[in-house]
A and B are shown apart, each in its own frame.
Chain A
């Protein structure tokens, strides 16, 4: 039997995700990829992988897994998930080397939505359209294009983890600062008062949240005339506003186009942080220019780079944003 990580009792939405797809939007294929790229990068760094190696993404808790390999180094990140090995708590934000037959439980975290499980060497699964990310709605990528179910055995590239010390990292401090957005491309479809409300009022994450979009509760964003636009391209982070006036933040699995006006776009470096907010959490926005957003993006990418370069050290540091 090839080395594998077996799903004993996975939670409902465990999917394989990496850095997402590039180059296939023109054929209607969604971008996908980790909801929180920074957390996936940290999980990978803890087990010695490159930042965008495919790992398992889970929502709220990860369930129960079994190591079917001589050894397998794993790490869990995203939030302070309760991680147990054969019932013994070991915690998140560290690597742990598991032996054949050991059971891994990943329970809930109070401070996160999306968790990441990385394995040293990565999973030995095929890419589809240049990525291992799962898009469940269209059955693309990942493990048979779907969330994992009991009995699935994900093949491991390494049957034996490299003989290296395990690593730890302090849980990154998640800033409470407003999420930065760039207004447009259809901000001129909205009343001035709604544009002002967008960057001054409090919004709440609702229960209508998944890998495609997060619906927010907050002030009604009023369209000046029509709430239909000529369907055009959207990106993860687009804030689309349908006729109800409720903001919908499009996420990684959103379709490639939409027909509602997009009042603004949450910047790439803040989208993962936003995704980690649970239903009921209060959030707010602040407008920046596209040029400012690009400077923030450079800082975000630099942080990812530093994490990747820290691989040799047993104690990793995440620079503050």
Chain B
């Protein structure tokens, strides 16, 4: 195929696309963009598969615009799987939409260091207080949980705070850091490297390895951030994560 044709093929691709990853995984791509409605489709298919009891599915994992499906081809062949998925899609995903739970997460803005917050303020032409106010007035949606255990990737960052990531990741970003990068947000579940900007820190733990439910957030959950004082952050530090949940799905 000529290269130009190949390029055109991707642009004109008809979604969803079914793309194998080797012998036992399939990516269902819904679009080539980051968009809440696209992600809602990903989550809806995820949900539809979960309730279908389709035999041979090992696990599914949503991301921005694609659902990864790991399956056992000895039980469910590739063609059978695609047929089954087309069936689920034809039934319509609207009724499967994931409402998610709603959370208000306390954030000590400027902790553990003010540096990134000031950098974001300068780069976006806002005051420090504006950045805090913009960030804490939006509602975010958990697009998916990935990369590290319990790490929620959040959509819904107001455009005023969109900022390219750093060219190089920095090591040792602390647990609880509330970060932004590109058009997204995240909450750091355990010390990790990141090229994003940290606006503050929450006393809440997104990953609690020994808890009954180790992963606080699920795809589809809705999150708001609330600025707190150092004293308040200290007082909240011991509370179970569930106490910050406003409503069940």
Residues of A within 8 A of B (CB): 22-29, 128, 138-140, 181-182, 184-185, 188, 191-192, 224-225, 230-235, 237-238, 255-257, 262, 265-269, 290-291, 293-294, 296-298, 301
Which of B10, B20, B219 has the most A CB atoms < 10 Å from its CB?
A: B20
| Contact B150–A28 (Cβ < 8 Å) | yes
Q: How many residues in B have their beta carbons less than 8 Å from beta carbons of A?
A: 52
B76: min CB distance to chain A, Å: 10
**9 pairs of A and B residues whose beta carbons are closest in the complex:** A233-B68, A265-B22, A185-B19, A293-B23, A290-B20, A294-B73, A25-B61, A257-B146, A27-B215
- CB < 8 Å: which of B21, B23, B67, B149 contacts A28? B149
Given contacts A192-B6, A224-B7, 18 further A-B contacts (CB under 8 A): A23-B58, A27-B149, A27-B214, A27-B215, A28-B215, A29-B149, A185-B21, A188-B9, A192-B2, A192-B3, A230-B33, A230-B66, A232-B63, A233-B68, A237-B22, A256-B146, A257-B144, A297-B73
A143: min CB distance to chain B, Å: 15
B27: min CB distance to chain A, Å: 5
| Contact B1–A140 (Cβ < 8 Å) | no
| Contact A298–B7 (Cβ < 8 Å) | no
Flag whether B25 is at the interface (Cβ < 8 A): yes
Kindly supply a per-residue 1/0 record for chain B positions 74-109, scoring 1 wherever the CB is within 8 Å of any chain A CB and 0 otherwise: 100111000000000000000000000000000000
A301: min CB distance to chain B, Å: 7
- CB < 8 Å: which of A188, A255, A268 contacts B148? A255
Considering only residues 165-181 of chain B, those with a C-beta below 8 Å from chain A are none
- CB < 8 Å: which of A26, A182, A230, A266 contacts B61? A26
| Contact B6–A224 (Cβ < 8 Å) | yes
**A139 contact set on B, CB distance < 8 A:** 190, 209
Q: When chains A and B are docked, how far (Å) is the Cα of A234 from the Cα of B145?
A: 14
Known: A26-B59, A28-B148, A294-B23. A128 touches B209 (CB 8 A): yes
| Contact B19–A184 (Cβ < 8 Å) | yes
For this complex, 12 residue pairs linking A to B, each with C-beta atoms less than 8 Å apart, are A28-B146, A182-B22, A224-B7, A230-B63, A232-B65, A233-B27, A238-B21, A267-B22, A268-B23, A290-B78, A294-B78, A297-B24
**A238 contact set on B, CB distance < 8 A:** 21-22
A136: min CB distance to chain B, Å: 13
A134: min CB distance to chain B, Å: 13
| Contact A230–B3 (Cβ < 8 Å) | no
**B153 contact set on A, CB distance < 8 A:** 231
| Contact B21–A265 (Cβ < 8 Å) | yes
Flag whether B34 is at the interface (Cβ < 8 A): yes
Considering only residues 132-159 of chain B, those with a C-beta below 8 Å from chain A are 144-151, 153
| Contact A25–B59 (Cβ < 8 Å) | yes
Known: A255-B148, A294-B73. A182 touches B20 (CB 8 A): yes
| Contact B147–A256 (Cβ < 8 Å) | yes
| Contact A230–B32 (Cβ < 8 Å) | yes
- CB < 8 Å: which of A29, A224, A235 contacts B22? A235
**B73 contact set on A, CB distance < 8 A:** 294, 297-298
Which of A29, A139, A262, A296 has the most B CB atoms < 10 Å from its CB?
A: A29
A286: min CB distance to chain B, Å: 14
Q: When chains A and B are docked, how far (Å) is the Cα of A226 from the Cα of B187?
A: 28
| Contact A230–B65 (Cβ < 8 Å) | yes
Known: A185-B27, A262-B21. A291 touches B78 (CB 8 A): yes
**A22 contact set on B, CB distance < 8 A:** 58-59, 70
Which of A28, A139, A265 has the most B CB atoms < 10 Å from its CB?
A: A28
